[in-house]
Structures are given as C-alpha cells and as structure tokens.
Amino acid sequence: MDVIIMPTAAAAAKLTAQIIADAINEKPDFKLGLATGRTMESVYANLAKLNKQKKVDFSLVKTFNLDEYVGLEEDNVNSYRYYMNYHLFDKINIDKRNTHVPNGIAEDVDAAAAAYDEAIAECGGLDIQLLGIGRSGHIGFNEPLSSFSSRTRAVTLTQITYQQNSPLFDNPKDMPMRAVTMGVGTILEARRLVFLATGSEKANIVAKAIEGPVTSMISATAMQFHENVVAILDKDAAAKLANQAEYKWSFQHDPKWAAYQKVK
C-alpha cells in the first residue's frame, strides 16, 4: 500500500481526482467503481471540472457504485443514485446507461445483488474502486464482521453508521436500516483501490485500517490483502499513523508519484 499525506482535504481530493482522470486517459473504456458520502463530494467536483476543461472524457466509461439504501427510490434526495446524478453524472459527458448503482428497491434484492456482481464481471472487472471509510471501519457498507469473501448483498447498518449518516436526512428517522453493498470480496477484485479519508474524526479508524492488524471487525483492513492500493489522506486523517515520515519519504522518492508532486 502507498500512503500519500496531503496538507489539506482539498488537496487530497484534487490528487484523488487527478489519479482517476489519468487512469481514464490511459484506458478510455475504463470501469470505475465509485463511492458516495461527504468525503467524495470534492473529488466529484474536481472530476467535473477536469471534464469541463476537456482534460478527461467519460463517454466510454462505465461506473459501478458501491452501495445503495434499501427502500429509497432513485428520485429520493437521500438515495445514492440521486447523489451520483447530482454530484457527478449530470455534470460530465457520461452516458447514464453506463452508470450502475445497486438496486435497493428490487422485489428480490438478493437476486438483484447477485446480478450486480455478474454485471461487473461481464464488463471485465473494475479498473479502479474508489473507497472512503466510515467510523465503523466500513468500506462500502461492509460493517464489522463482514466476511472478507462477501459478495454484493443486503446488510443491516450498525448504530455507529446510523449516527454518522442519519443527520443527512431531513428527518433522521427516515434513514433506512438496511442497504445493498458490494462485498469485501467484490471490492478486493478491483485491479486497483484508491482510498480517500479526510478530517480528524477519521484519524483513529484510518490508523487501524492502515497499520493495524487485519480483522473483519474493521472491513477496511482487508485492503492490506490487495497488491495495488493507494491511500490518500489529509494531515488530520493521517494524524494517528505511526509511520507518517516514512510515507512522506516514499511519496517524494518513488518515481511513480513524480508527476503528482505538484498537486497542491
């Protein structure tokens, strides 16, 4: 895993967007796994800006989101489909038919979840999966004790996630207790993981996810099994990492990051 520590959350989001844009430019029919949440909003603002400046083209890109609440219609402002349209898809030159979000309103949610994994496999697998981290240590909505080989499925959200996300609903009690999420196993199959965490409230869980022992109590520790991961942090989210100086040294001296030194 490479760990990149940026001075600010804005710089971390800009770097994340640049890495994704560069990867798309190398492979126009890119398969991109997306995440939602507060952290990703500025990544999407940066990608929309790059698209407007014609520095990245989404016309052949296919996207697959990590998760969706069970029971929310697409036009519900709290659904992740709505979030994606609002923050990204309506602002870039993507064909909406190429964008996929798990189906949380299917009559048979399990069958729809299995079909989602099949759709990812059929298009050749994900080139990059973008990941954030919740206070429970979840990636996607893989709450503690999710199997590392889990597939896309319906799950019950933990109380800590309920506390994290319910303030985003007009009436916090409207937040569904269930969601459909890509499994940890599904996520680990992506060819590259790009993880972004910002803010001091993430510092403890980020340190556990990156430097702590691998445990299904913290789904994000499963990233340690993946051979191609970059974790991008701002200095607040990185604050509890023991080896910050080493990570900064590697970022400065690894030639693969040379082009990214100028991102501020």
Q: Which residues bind ligand F6R (CB under 6 A)?
A: 35-39, 66-67, 132-134, 138-140
3-state secondary structure of 257: helix
**Cβ distance to ligand F6R smaller for residue 217 or 257:** 217
Cβ partners under 8 Å of residue 254, min gap 6: 2
Give the nearest distance from C-beta 7 to ligand F6R in angstroms: 19
Least distance to ligand F6R, CB of residue 13, Å: 11
Residues 152, 110: Cα–Cα separation, whole Å: 8
What number of other Cβ atoms are within 10 A of residue 97's Cβ? 7
Beta carbon of residue 80, minimum distance to ligand F6R (angstroms, whole number): 6
Q: 202 near 131, Cβ under 8 Å?
A: no
Residue 136: CA atoms inside 13 Å, Cβ hemisphere, count?
22
Q: Are strands 62-65 and 99-100 parallel, antiparallel or unpaired?
A: parallel
Cβ 218 to ligand F6R shortest distance, Å: 12
Query: In the sheet that 153-156 helps form, which strands lie side by side, from edge to edge?
Result: 67-69, 178-181, 153-156
Question: Which position's Cβ is nearest ligand F6R?
Answer: 132
Which amino acid, one-letter code, is at 66? L
3-state secondary structure at position 167: helix
Indicate the residue among 78 and 250 with the shorter CB distance to ligand F6R: 78
Closer residue to ligand F6R (CB): 132 or 176: 132
Q: Which is nearer to ligand F6R, 67 or 117 (CB)?
A: 67
CB 40 → ligand F6R: shortest distance, Å? 6
Taking the least distance from each CB to ligand F6R, the nearer of 67 and 234 is 67
Nearer to ligand F6R, 5 or 205 (CB): 205
Q: How far is the CB of 253 from ligand F6R (least distance, A)?
A: 30
